[in-house]
Amino acid sequence: MSESAIRPPLPPFSAESAAQKARAAEDAWNSRDPARVSLAYSADSTWRNRSDFVHGRAEIVAFLTRKWEREQEYRLIKEVWAWQENRIAVRFAYEWHDEAGQWYRSYGNENWEFDHHGLMTHRHASINDLPIQFEERKFHWPLGLRPDTHPGLSDLGL
């Protein structure tokens, strides 16, 4: 395995390393670059995302490409809920709008499992979408990475 296939921090996770892993995932997803995001997952990674079942990096890239074509101006915040050994549970919220301009806040939970190289082998996501008005948005940073000064989920009361 090449050095580039190792994705620190590696399990077993601590509170600090679990938070680093979640923030790295958040940053990658906020890039909205499917190829970049896919590199954090093992070549044979399996996902359940809502009612979609995704297997392997090629399907991850295709899934994320479709997602971000539909979910425009996507901004995401993740927060660790629990961790143990090679598993992390996160809660998240993201805001986006559809082609018609309707804004949504999508809430959910993810359960992650990692191999010893720090690549995610399993991702189970449960997500609910709440239509919101433009004025109800809470994620107000330019597209891309969330600034370190922007509040997290708990700080925003989410």
Residue 98's pLDDT band (boundaries 50, 70, 90)? very high
Give me the pLDDT at residue 3, please: 45
d(Cα 106, Cα 113) in Å, to the nearest integer? 22
- pTM value is 0.95
Compute the distance between CA of residue 98 and CA of residue 104 in angstroms, rounded to an integer. 8
User: What does the alpha-carbon distance between residue 43 and residue 31 come to, in Å, rounded to a whole number?
Assistant: 20
Which range marks the domain in which residue 38 is found? 11-136
* Residue range 9-17: mean pLDDT, rounded: 98
CATH number at residue 45: 3.10.450.50
Does residue 119 fall inside a structural domain?
Answer: yes
Distance CA 145, CA 30 (A): 6
Distance CA 145, CA 69 (A): 18
Per cent of the chain over pLDDT 90 is 97
Q: What average pLDDT does this structure show over 7-34?
A: 98
Structure tokens at 120: 């995610």
Q: State the average pLDDT for the chain.
A: 96
Instruction: Please state the separation of Cα 49 from the chain's center in Å.
Output: 11
In a domain, 150, yes or no: no
C-alpha span between 76 and 67 (Å, rounded): 13
Q: What is the pLDDT of residue 5?
A: 87
Any domain includes 156: no
Is residue 147 in some structural domain?
no
Mean pLDDT of 82-110: 98
Number of domains into which the chain is organized: 1
Q: What is the rounded distance in angstroms from the CA atom of residue 31 to the CA atom of residue 28?
A: 5
- Percentage of the chain beyond pLDDT 70 is 97
Mean pLDDT across 29-45: 97
The answer to whether residue 132 is domain-embedded is yes
Residue 32 falls inside a structural domain:
yes
Mean local confidence (pLDDT), 107-132: 98
Residue 148 in any domain: the answer is no
Average pLDDT over residues 55-71: 98
- What is residue 4's predicted lDDT score, i.e. its pLDDT? 57
At residue 24, the 3 state secondary structure works out as helix
Bin 73: left if φ > 0, else alpha if -120 < ψ < 50, else beta.
left
Cα(105)–Cα(123) distance, rounded to whole angstroms? 21
Contact between 47 and 60 under an 8 Å Cβ cutoff? The reply is: yes
Averaged pLDDT for residues 131-156:
97
Is residue 92 assigned to a domain?
yes
